[in-house]
Amino acid sequence: MSFSLVYQKIKEYQTIILFGHKRPDGDCYGSQFGLKDIIKTTFSDKSVFVVGEKVSYLSFIGQLDEIDDDIFKDALAIVLDTATRDRISDSRYKLCKEIIKIDHHIVLDNYGDINVVEELIPATCLLLTKFLLSNENLKISLVGATALYTGTVTDTGNFRYRGVNEETMQLAGKLLSYGVNVEHIDQLLSVQSLRAVRLKSYVYRTFKVTKNGFAYAIINRLIIKYFNVGYDEAASLVSLLANIQECPVWALIIKYPKDIRVRIRSNGPNINTLAEKYDGGGHHKAAGATLKSSSKIRQFVKDADNLVKEYKEKQEPII
Ligand code: AMP
């Protein structure tokens, strides 16, 4: 079983470096810091580092480490919540002696020497909770349980998304048994700036709907500057276009300085194939894509509109 292999490798190495994906989310941070806590609580003498990109709204989960390149060469790399090697946020994983991948995305790239992937589990944090429970020697503190619970809450949309089942609740319940403060986590994740509220009103005023019902909004650099918000804060607004009855697929298109990132969501057709066509990937109902230039937006919107059209044609008419 791969969990026991992961346990053996953790035992074997003195230095372990935990990686996540670019533009990290709650499940990425939660799984990195949750696993760090499991390893440190179980094996206090090991050196465990978390590397990646800083995200201020998630900083309550843990603080990133800054480490020199020479630390990597004798280390075990564990990459969390990251489907493909080009999404790993720190390319120094290549310097490490061995790589373990632990993830829950659709498998596109088995880049690890050991790959532990459960596509149907709704958060990598839950997969790590299973790892924790798989071996009675493994321990976790309240800090780690809080990290894993936070990632679970964010990736399941507060236990509302597809994939949430009896096991999800049992594993989350196990995390709560360490004393996690659910209300406090919710407050930390829900707080919003006045600027963000104003940007929301902009998105609501300007979003477009295609002929067949693909809803999308575009946020460019000028808008980001005007509302004085961060790119990640702006990107979080994809959920504003959710649950419009006529629009089973929706997206937020954000023009970053170097490329254009599309966050796509669906409660109808699977969208991962559409995302993959545009240098992206993800899950069936939540995926992301990258567009090289503004000229690609029109084609992307057309493809998304077609996807909705085909989906609606297959649906039973509502009488
Ligand atoms: P996001 O919109 O960033 O929350 O992404 C939704 C899902 O798609 C997440 O599971 C991401 O890991 C995945 N994803 C987002 N962007 C990409 C990309 N460019 N390539 C592969 N997967 C992606």
**Residues lining ligand 1, CB < 6 A?**
21, 25, 83, 87, 105, 263, 280-283, 286-290
Backbone angles phi, psi at 266, to 5 degrees: -150, 145
Q: How far is the CA of 65 from the centre of ligand 1 (A)?
A: 24
Q: Three-class SS of residue 158?
A: coil
The pLDDT value given to residue 85: 97
The residue whose CB lies within 8 Å of the most ligand 1 atoms, and thus the one to mutate among 79, 88, 105, is 105
Between 151 and 258, the more confident residue is 151
Q: Three-class SS of residue 18?
A: strand
Mean pLDDT over residues 128-132, rounded?
98
The pLDDT value given to residue 251: 98
Residue 315 pLDDT grade (very low, low, confident, very high; cuts 50, 70, 90):
confident
With vertex at residue 17, the alpha carbon angle to CA 16 and CA 22, rounded to the nearest 5 degrees, is: 160
Domain boundaries, the chain: 3-189, 195-314
Q: In angstroms, rounded to a whole number, what is the distance separating the alpha carbons of residues 20 and 287? A: 17
The pLDDT value given to residue 56: 86
Quick check: do 3-189 and 195-314 share a fold?
Answer: no
Question: Whole-angstrom distance between the N-terminal and C-terminal Cα of the chain?
Answer: 51
Maximum CA pair distance of the chain? 67
1-41: pLDDT as tens digits:
699 999 999 999 999 999 999 999 999 999 999 999 999 99
Mean residue pLDDT across the chain:
96
User: Architecture of domain 3-189 in CATH?
Assistant: Alpha-Beta Complex (3.90)
Atom of ligand 1 nearest to the CA of 81: 12
Q: In angstroms, rounded to a whole number, what is the distance separating the alpha carbons of residues 57 and 213? A: 32
| 316, pLDDT greater than 90 | no
Q: In angstroms, rounded to a whole number, what is the distance separating the alpha carbons of residues 81 and 31? A: 7
134-165: pLDDT as tens digits:
999 999 999 999 999 999 999 999 999 889 99
Mean pLDDT over residues 102-111, rounded?
96
CB 33, CB 147: distance < 8 Å: yes
CB 237, CB 252: distance < 8 Å: yes
30-88: pLDDT as tens digits:
999 999 999 999 999 999 999 999 998 899 999 999 999 999 999 999 999 999 999 99
Q: How far is the CA of 89 from the centre of ligand 1 (A)?
A: 13
The pLDDT value given to residue 318: 57
Using CA positions, which residue lies closest to atom 18 of ligand 1?
280
| 271, pLDDT greater than 70 | yes
Q: In angstroms, rounded to a whole number, what is the distance separating the alpha carbons of residues 60 and 228? A: 23
With vertex at residue 184, the alpha carbon angle to CA 151 and CA 200, rounded to the nearest 5 degrees, is: 75
Using CA positions, which residue lies closest to atom 16 of ligand 1?
288
204-220: pLDDT as tens digits:
999 999 999 999 999 99
189-207: pLDDT as tens digits:
999 889 999 999 999 999 9
Give me the CATH topology for the region 195-314.
Diaminopimelate Epimerase; Chain A, domain 1 (3.10.310)
The pLDDT value given to residue 57: 87
Pair of tokens at residue 156? 């399941």
Residue 317 pLDDT grade (very low, low, confident, very high; cuts 50, 70, 90):
low
